[in-house]
Amino acid sequence: MLIRLNVLNVSKKYQTDALKDVTFNLYDNEFLSILGPSGCGKSTLLRCLIGIERFDSGKVLFFDMDKEIDITNSRPRDRHMGIVMQNYALFPNMTVKNNIMFPLKNKKLPKDKIIKIVDDILEKTNLIEHQNKYPNELSGGQQQRVAIARTLVSHPDIILFDEPMSALDASTKIILRKFIKEIQKLYKISIIYITHDQEEAFAMSDRIMVMNQGEIIQIGTPNEIYKNPINDYVRNFIVNELNEKVRSILESIK
Ligand SMILES: Nc1ncnc2c1ncn2[C@@H]1O[C@H](COP(=O)(O)OP(=O)(O)OP(=O)(O)O)[C@@H](O)[C@H]1O
Ligand SMILES: [Mg+2]
């Protein structure tokens, strides 16, 4: 498996330790979820990775095939990453199309190239019929699709999701889950995905990272975590919270 991102001993202190010596790899095309209670450092980790927050110590390496690039001090736009937040963060006064086009505005690309890229993404994200609407004319699920489309124009290798579904109803969540998995395949991206929803993490992920109080407690496949929770915390907070449906799927895996 090819490594995409190598996070090494990342620590960050506010009044308390938000991240303590966080070390993990993210692999090529991997879907990695982060589970953990409120305040355990999940959002801080994503903000540090994309570079909108500085960390105090540690290193982040990005891999492009065999080429290792130290992005510890790079500008956010040079980190090969995009981020999608819970609240969509679309520009309310711009149409869907202009929202999606926005990241390309400063890139000095020829106009016909920009139009080609945006039209292609509108098509692949199923947004053509909504392209001239404003965000307030769209449902929450559609707005989130626009937010995802907007990150795709910059051709990220990694997309970070910070609880992208927590404002959506159950049936929209199911549709958007499928959408995110399809986009991941189509664009061959790696994903780090924060969620509060154990079921969602188990259904979507290649691996799950369990955090508590700024530290990684366990990282493994859903099956590994289910079968061998490393301590009582993981057992109580994750495994015992899973519903019957997820359990029976996991039980069937040897
Ligand atoms: N800008 C900030 N200034 C001071 N403290 C902060 C700041 N951002 C986060 N913290 C603190 O760092 C810790 C981790 O916060 P973080 O937002 O990363 O948690 P989280 O796991 O994303 O929680 P939630 O699930 O509620 O979103 C918390 O104790 C929080 O109070
Ligand atoms: Mg958070």
Evaluate whether residue 10 is within a structural domain. yes
Whether 108 maps to a domain, the answer reads no
For 46-55, the pLDDT digits (tens) are 999 999 999 9
Q: Is residue 149 part of a domain?
A: no
Give me the pLDDT at residue 133, please.
98
- Which two tokens mark 116? 């080609």
Residues with CB under 6 A from ligand 1: 14, 16, 18, 36, 38-44
**Closest residue by CA, ligand 1 atom 19:** 39
What pLDDT is attached to residue 132? 98
Residue 87: is its pLDDT beyond 90? no
Q: Is residue 178 part of a domain?
A: no
* pLDDT at position 167 over 90: no
Find the ligand nearest to 213 CA: 1
Tokens describing residue 83: 């981020």
Nearest residue by C-alpha to atom 17 in ligand 1: 43
Residue 84 Cα to ligand 1 midpoint, Å, equals 17
Q: What confidence tier does 2 reach under pLDDT thresholds 50, 70, 90?
A: very high
Kindly state whether residue 60 falls inside one of the protein's structural domains: yes
Cα–Cα distance for residue pair 99/146, rounded to 1 Å? 8
The band of 202, judged by pLDDT with boundaries at 50, 70 and 90, is very high
Instruction: Name the residue among 181, 228, 238 with its Cα closest to residue 204.
Output: 181
Number of domains in the chain: 1
Range of the domain at 41: 1-78+190-254
Antiparallel, parallel or unpaired: β 67-70 and 57-64: antiparallel
Q: Ligand 2 center to residue 38 CA distance, Å?
A: 7
Residue 253 lies in a domain: yes
pLDDT reported for residue 245: 84
Residue 185: inside a domain: no
Is the CB of residue 174 less than 8 Å from the CB of residue 128?
no
6 DSSP 8-state letter: E
Residue to mutate, 11, 17, 34, 44, ligand 1, most ligand atoms under 8 Å from C-beta:
44
- pLDDT value, residue 226: 94
What is the pLDDT confidence band of residue 193, given thresholds at 50, 70 and 90?
very high
- On average, the pLDDT of the chain sits at 94
What's the pLDDT score for residue 137?
97
- Residue bearing the CA closest to ligand 1, atom 6: 14
User: pLDDT tier at 246 (50, 70, 90 boundaries)?
Assistant: confident
Q: Looking at ligand 1, which residue's alpha carbon is closest to its atom 30?
A: 39
Least confident of 29-33, 78-82, 164-168: 164-168
The confidence score (pLDDT) of residue 139 equals 93
Residue 39 Cα, ligand 1 centroid: separation in angstroms?
Answer: 5
Phi then psi for residue 75, to 5 deg, are: -70, 150
The three-state secondary structure class of 154 is coil
Residue 20: CATH number of its domain: 3.40.50.300
In a domain, 133, yes or no: no
Ligand nearest to the backbone CA of 35? 1
Asked whether the predicted pLDDT for residue 243 surpasses 90, the reply is no
pLDDT given for residue 63 in this prediction: 97
What pLDDT was estimated at residue 242? 87
93-139 pLDDT, tens digit each: 999 999 999 989 878 888 899 999 999 999 999 999 999 999 999 99
